[in-house]
A and B are shown apart, each in its own frame.
Chain A
Amino acid sequence: MSTWELPLVIFTVFGQWAIGLAIMLTLVEYFSPATITEANLKQFRMGGMAVLPLVAVGLLFSIFHLGRPFAAYRALFNLGQSMLSLEIAFFLVVGVLALIYSYMWWKTPDKSSRKIVGAALSIVGLAAIVISSKVYALPARLAWDSLQTTAAFILTAVLLGAVSVALLLGKSEDETSLKAKKVFGWVILGAVIATVVVLALFAQTYGASAEQSAAVAATFASAIFVVRLVLGILIPVALAGLFVANGKSSSTIISVALFSVVIGELSGRILFYSSVMSQYPWF
């Protein structure tokens, strides 16, 4: 448990979820505005308003990670050098944009001008995720220091965002909604496949160094990995299957699916940290 780094897990997963959601909403607004029908608007509004609390939860937990939470502001003091400083700075901007974005969804749900804010949030958010992954690009920690980390972080955002929007569309049976659902089905499927590829790449690094092998072994031998596999990967596949097959989908099923994906992603992130941190003191 002590190596699970739960505050960091929640910070990164929730932050990525918020950004992923904003990205997906923004994409819908730009490329398929027709999906947001009169009937769907209520759902989408809820989604838009959810972005802020997700970011807020993430940011709050990032502070809990600190031994000295009240001195958190000082984390911005080494912007020139420290990726962590930069990450915090970006997430603060994400926070501000999320505030505006969710506020606009709340107060003026029918104004489309908010999609500009959404676009800004998506771009800054994506950058924040990339930077976030770079925090772990530590030459001393081979298991983290690779593009797989960046890929995994982005995939978390995509998966959570896509499943969330799917949930918003849950009950809509109109033409455009069905089309959109189909697209999201493919996105989820793609994200799942990409996640598997990333994991496989990671598994392949077994043997690169003692530390790396230990991290790989710790990941795949863990009971948490089973959780991640079933909840984080298999359930979304099933869900995507449903969509793609264009069958009827109840929002209960998608709710369960979203819950599963969240748990799956959280456990994936726990493994990300613990497989490395449990080796401390290294060497």
Chain B
Amino acid sequence: MAKQVGFYMNMANCYGCQTCQVACKSEQQTAPAVSFRRVRQFNNDYPVMHATLSMGCNHCEKPQCLVNCPVGAYTKLDNGIVYQDHSKCIGCRMCVMACPYGVPQYDPEEGKTSKCSYCKERIDQGLQPRCVEACPGGNLAAGDLEELKAKYSGVQEFPGMPAAAITNPSIIINPAKAFKK
């Protein structure tokens, strides 16, 4: 099996502080409308369902962004990163529509879409993705997906999430109490 990097996200312990989100913004210097990593809140009338999930790009095995992009801006790198060559983007938002997780983000000011690169530049320097490094709660982990799977247990989807079968995302989520089956 080809090498594949991935994320582990301990949703059960994430308290939604959004440090990962801002650390990413800072590292990637993204535009105001763009956050490569976002912390979603699950809220409804039942407080016990309250939970937060932090998600960047899942660097999927079958990336929908990649197959739908008309300019071929996306490539799957040797280590499994789904990488966008930003210079190629023409801002058609096909990837935005195609990604089940809403990962690619369109910046109307720039007229282009961009997304999490798994901090490719940092990985090349032997560093951790910035979001993972920044989480004060230690609720994110990055690394080789197989190794992560050996270390952590979790799921690729929980009720309410897009079907993992669509893209086979490289993510392991330890769901919050309320989302455990």
Contacts and interface: CB of A to CB of B under 8 A. Distances in A.
Contacts of B167: 140
A270 to B, nearest CB: 16
Contact of B102 (A66, A84, A136, A281): A281
A278 interface: no
B25 interface: no
B72 A138 contact: no
Contact of B71 (A78, A139, A210): A78
B181 to A, nearest CB: 17
Given A78-B70, A88-B70, A140-B162, A71 B102 contact: no
Given A84-B92, A84-B94, A75 B71 contact: yes
Contacts of B96: 280
B156 interface: no
A74 B94 CA distance: 14
B112 interface: yes
B16 interface: no
Given A74-B90, A140-B162, A281 B38 contact: yes
B68 interface: yes
B17 interface: no
Interface string A208-219: 001000000000
B64 interface: yes
Interface stretch (B103-111, B115-123, B124-132, B133-141): B103-111
B98 interface: yes
Contact of B97 (A68, A71, A138): A138
Contacts of A140: 64, 97-100, 162, 166-167
A82 B102 contact: no
B69 interface: yes
The size bracket of the interface on B is 35 or more
Interface in A129-149: 135-136, 138-141
A65 B70 CA distance: 14
Interface in A33-73: 65-68, 71-72
A80 B161 CA distance: 30
B25 to A, nearest CB: 16
B170 to A, nearest CB: 16
Nearest to A136: B97
B180 interface: no
Contacts of B106: 67
B71 A283 contact: no
B47 interface: no
A283 B163 CA distance: 11
B162 to A, nearest CB: 6
Given A75-B90, A282-B100, A82 B67 contact: yes
B3 interface: no
B71 A83 contact: no
Nearest to A72: B90
B142 interface: no
B100 A283 contact: yes
The 4 closest A-B pairs by CB, nearest first: A67-B91, A67-B111, A140-B100, A281-B102
Interface of A: 65-68, 71-72, 74-78, 81-85, 88, 135-136, 138-141, 210, 276-277, 280-283
Given A65-B93, A210-B160, 19 more contacts: A67-B106, A74-B70, A77-B70, A78-B69, A78-B72, A82-B68, A82-B70, A84-B70, A84-B92, A88-B70, A139-B166, A140-B64, A140-B166, A141-B98, A277-B97, A281-B38, A282-B100, A282-B101, A282-B102
Interface of B: 38, 40, 64, 66-72, 88-94, 96-102, 106-108, 110-113, 160-163, 166-167
27 contacts: A66-B92, A67-B92, A67-B93, A67-B107, A67-B110, A68-B111, A71-B71, A72-B90, A75-B70, A76-B70, A81-B66, A81-B72, A82-B94, A84-B70, A88-B70, A135-B94, A136-B97, A139-B64, A139-B100, A139-B163, A140-B64, A141-B97, A280-B102, A282-B162, A283-B100, A283-B161, A283-B162
